[in-house]
A and B are shown apart, each in its own frame.
Chain A
Amino acid sequence: MDQDIITSIRVIPMEHYLMLSFLLFSIGVAGVVFRRNTIIILMCLELMFNSVNLLLTAFSAYHSDPRAQVFVFFIMLVAAAEVTVGLAILVMMKRNVDSVDVNQLNRLKW
């Protein structure tokens, strides 16, 4: 069974996984940079993390090495912890300015 999954992952060449995860990563980066709604930004951060997960899993199958798959679990865990804190901070901000627009954050500047 496990071998089946690995061979089926390997049907698609590595370059394609690489391109796909770069694409997803770029979409995430673009979202964080250009969108103003904080919820969307959080989603785009998740997209960045998940593109890395995809890449690690593909590499793991290609190297026949399970360690990277364990790493993926850690990434999921950390991403969950991070988004928990992020949402809490977001709620705090919403209470202060009654908005989730990042452009509201402009009181601190040089």
Chain B
Amino acid sequence: MSALVLLSVLGVLLLYAGLFGKRTLLAPLGIIGLLATMVVIRSGWMMNVPLVGAMVRFDHFGSVFGQALTLITVLLFIFGIDYYSRVRENVAEQYALIIFSLVGAVLLISYSNLLVLFLGIEILSIPLYILAGGKRDSFRSGEAAFKYFLQGSFASGFFLMGIALLYGSTASLDLATVQASAASASGSAHMLYLLGLFFTIAGLAFKVAAVPFHFWSPDVYEGSPTLVTAYMSTVVKTAAFAAFHRLIAGMELPGAIQTMLVVMTLLTLFLGNIVALRQTQFKRLLAYSGIAHSGFLLLTFLGSDPGAPGVLFYYSITYSLATMGLFVVLTLAKRSANGDENIRIFRGLYRSSPWLAIVTMLLLLSLAGIPLTAGFVAKYQVFLLGIEGGYILTTAFAVAMALVGVYYYVLVIREAFTPREQAPELVVSRLNWLVISFCGLAVVVLGLVPELLRF
């Protein structure tokens, strides 16, 4: 509870700082506030106060995810210092909107009532619609914002219908009661329950960009400002997966829903990896890679292993760290190439800045799941979970798709290590260097010593 209050106040403070023209103060203030939030979540001070009718419960799951999400946002803010130094207007608003969106994320990882789940999703999404359109004079940014808004509200409509039907069949909005009714509902109530669960899961699948609800993701990723894209593919995705997990974990899923999840996993793995093969724009490549990773993360929902939340946590955090670093590198490379996003802009990177090229390679290898990186440990754990849950064919398919995925990551690495006449001149500020190095080292260290990121 205190974390929610702290974050909301922080957002308002940032708006005031912007109002009084204290631009240099914005990011430091945000970072201090986020670190304070992290400390508060960690210490558990005033966290589990049942204020809003006990609809929010900060258990161990919420606390661990809360710390990780704030940490990733801190990295994003450090990156933001350099990123927003080139933007003239509305910087404070953008920082504040990121914080407000984070409030939604914190609700999503700790809800115990369907009303809070809905509010969390909306508080997470509405600032994002604005942030996606952050570059006001850019057509592509406006288009991204509009597409995200339309498809997001459309998905919210279905999601709400799902909640209404769940309420109709169980007469309760409490998560535990709704989950417990999975087995007991019968007759027409069971029909309503199934339909409700179907719509609710479809709404969440939209947020995590699982096929067939992924249409928004490549367009929105490409059109949005890079910092916002980085936020979407890290914090938003992690929070949405945590919410998904809270909804269906500990529930005896009806057979039809289980089948739907398996089909969704297979489609997501297939489409994400195959379409990524023919991408030449780096942002779109990362969008499809994000869809593919959603497929791997969906695998953790299939079984009912008690270790599933730990695996979900490890996978989503290592994925977030790797993509965060890559988006920073992309911003720098894009600058030196005058706004081009083709993967060719990485060519000759090794000549001009070897350290950057090596870190980029590590991050991409982690996404591909090559041994000795965190991505490998994460994928390995997910596959193990799938096999233990009895989904051997699905897991085998996932392994095959992981192998296909290696190709398009290696393609980018090859570009970085191909010599070129005029090597790109990348200007790396000290803070950006810090973020990139932190992400690069984190994926290696976490790959060697996975126990560091214990759930």
Identify the A interface with B (CB < 8 A).
18, 21, 25, 28-29, 32, 38, 41, 45, 48-49, 51-52, 55-56, 59, 63, 65, 67-68, 70-71, 74-75, 78, 81-82, 85-86, 88-90, 92-93, 96-97, 102, 105, 107-110
**Are A32 and B154 in contact, CB atoms less than 8 angstroms apart?**
yes
Residues of B within 8 Å of A48, CB to CB, are 154, 157, 160-161
Q: How many residues of B contact A (CB 8 A)?
A: 41
Chain B residues with CB below 8 A from A82, complex form = 122, 126, 149, 153, 156
B139 touches A55 (CB 8 A): no
Complex alpha-carbon distance, A75 and B121, angstroms: 12
A-side binding surface: helix, strand, loop or mixed?
A: helix
**Chain B interface, >50% SS class:** helix
> In this assembly, does B173 line the interface, its C-beta being within 8 Å of a C-beta of chain A?
yes
A108 and B164 contact, CB distance less than 8 A: no
B126–A89 touching, CB < 8 Å: no
Partner of A25, one of B115, B156, B161, B275: B161
Check: B415 CB closer than 8 A to any chain A CB.
Answer: no
Which residues of A have CB within 8 Å of B173?
Answer: 67-68, 71
One of B139, B153, B279 near A97 (C-beta < 8 A): B139
B interface residues (Cβ-Cβ under 8 A, vs A): 115, 118-119, 122, 126, 129-130, 133, 136-137, 139-140, 142-147, 149-150, 153-154, 156-157, 160-161, 163-165, 167-168, 171-173, 218-219, 222-223, 275, 279, 284
Known: A71-B115, A71-B173. A59 touches B154 (CB 8 A): no
Check B150–A32 contact: CB distance below 8 A.
yes
A106, B135: Cα distance in complex, Å: 18
Name the B residues within 8 Å of A74 (CB-CB): 115, 118-119
Residues of chain A within 8 A (CB-CB) of B122 are 78, 81-82
15 A-B pairs whose Cβ atoms sit less than 8 Å apart in the complex: A18-B168, A48-B157, A51-B161, A52-B161, A55-B161, A65-B171, A67-B115, A75-B160, A82-B122, A85-B149, A86-B153, A89-B149, A93-B146, A96-B142, A108-B143
**Nearest A residue to B171 by beta-carbon distance?**
A63
